[in-house]
Amino acid sequence: MTQLHLCLLISSALFCIGLAGALARSNTILVLLGIELMLNAANLNFIAFWRFGPSPAHATGVIFVIFSIAIAAAEAAVGLALIISLYRHQRNIRLQDAVRLKG
Amino acid sequence: MTAILAFIALVMLGSAAAAMISRNLVHSALLLALSWLGTAGFYLWAGADFAAFAQVIVYVGAVSMVVLFAVLLTRQNPVGDVLVEPASRKRSTAALSVGACVAAVLSAAVMSSSFPPASVAAPTATVKQIGLELMGPYGAALLIVGVLLTVALLGAIVLAASEPERNPEDAP
């Protein structure tokens, strides 16, 4: 087992923790955080493949991760704004209560 | 080298799992900041310094603060949701089994695949090299990400700041 295998195993474990959290919790903030964990696991994979890949001539992995972090930051901002808007609307942030699309 | 990786993985996975289990939202947010710090440690371990600092600034600095603000703004009872209903228990079991199944599939796929051997020299990405690549071949992507961030943050402000007018029969 090489170190690349180890890194990939770690990142799949992080992905599954995020997946289980996003599916299990009924609090919208925790679901969003679970999704963030899954994104982080993908970033770990980029870095691992860049570090242990066969031809690491360019900084491709690092640049991919930087763009991915930027997208994740935008996603977190919009998601939390949606959560605050949901809280204004229905006075709690339980996912089970958010069953209407009508504003 | 592997011992450091094991320690980083322990911090990262342990705090992530504890954050997902914890019933106190503030604890969850702080534990997730610890987990993101562990991710930054992994980037440092792999030699991607710039990505590690970007992770610390964006996640540990900014996103965790935004999450904490959202938690405090939407909190109802300070002790957290103490009552556990049976439906939630059932959903947790289902989610755990789904997570375990996905983990099994992913680890089987990782273990059964063979990768080309790593290059002898560890790759280096100096800040100068990253800057030149961002300004050169990835310039268009950088511009698009800038536009996307602007639009997303403006949208977030519009979403969070606009007070909906309430119907009288809708009142709580």
Q: Do B12 and A10 touch (CB under 8 A)?
A: yes
The number of C-alpha atoms within 13 Å of A98 and in the hemisphere containing its C-beta is 16
A2, A59, A84 ranked by CB distance to B129: nearest = A59
Q: pLDDT tens digit string along B108-123?
A: 999 998 887 776 677 7
Q: Are A34 and A18 in contact (CB under 8 A)?
A: yes
Q: What is the pLDDT of residue B74?
A: 83
How many Å apart are CA B116 and CA B110, to the nearest integer? 13
φ/ψ of A27, rounded to 5, equals -90, 130
Residues of chain A with pLDDT > 70, as a percent, come to 95
How many Å apart are CA A24 and CA A36, to the nearest integer? 15
Collect all residues of chain A within an 8 Å Cβ-Cβ radius of residue B149.
Answer: 70, 73-74
* pLDDT range class, residue A9, cuts 50, 70, 90: very high
Task: Give CA angle at B36 (B105, B91), nearest 5°.
Answer: 50
How many Å apart are CA B60 and CA B138, to the nearest integer? 26
Q: pLDDT tens digit string along B123-146?
A: 777 888 888 888 988 999 999 999
How many Å apart are CA B111 and CA A8, to the nearest integer? 9
Instruction: Decide if pLDDT at B169 tops 60.
Output: no
How many Å apart are CA A12 and CA B31, to the nearest integer? 19
More confident residue, A93 or B3: B3
B42, B73, B125 ranked by CB distance to A44: nearest = B42
Q: Are B35 and B3 in contact (CB under 8 A)?
A: no
Instruction: Decide if pLDDT at B167 tops 70.
Output: no
Whether this prediction's pTM lies above 0.95 is answered by no
Residue B99 near chain A (CB below 8 Å): yes
More confident residue, A36 or A99: A36
* pLDDT range class, residue B84, cuts 50, 70, 90: low
Collect all residues of chain A within an 8 Å Cβ-Cβ radius of residue B89.
Answer: none
ipTM of the complex: 0.90
More confident residue, B164 or B102: B102
φ/ψ of B94, rounded to 5, equals -60, -45
Taking only Cα atoms into account, the Rg of chain A, rounded to an integer number of angstroms, comes to 17
Distance of CA B98 to the CA centre of its chain: 20
- Integer CA distances (angstroms), A95 to A80, B21, B29, B39, B128, in order: 14, 17, 18, 28, 45
Q: What is the pLDDT of residue B25?
A: 87
Collect all residues of chain A within an 8 Å Cβ-Cβ radius of residue B155.
Answer: 78, 81
Collect all residues of chain B within an 8 Å Cβ-Cβ radius of residue A33.
Answer: 19-20, 28-29, 32, 67
Nearest CA in chain A to B50: A62
**Hey, what are A1's tokens?**
């087992």
Taking only Cα atoms into account, the Rg of chain B, rounded to an integer number of angstroms, comes to 21
Q: What is the pLDDT of residue B55?
A: 92
Q: Do B99 and A20 touch (CB under 8 A)?
A: yes
Instruction: Decide if pLDDT at B41 tops 80.
Output: yes
Q: Other C-beta atoms within 10 Å of B53: how many?
A: 14
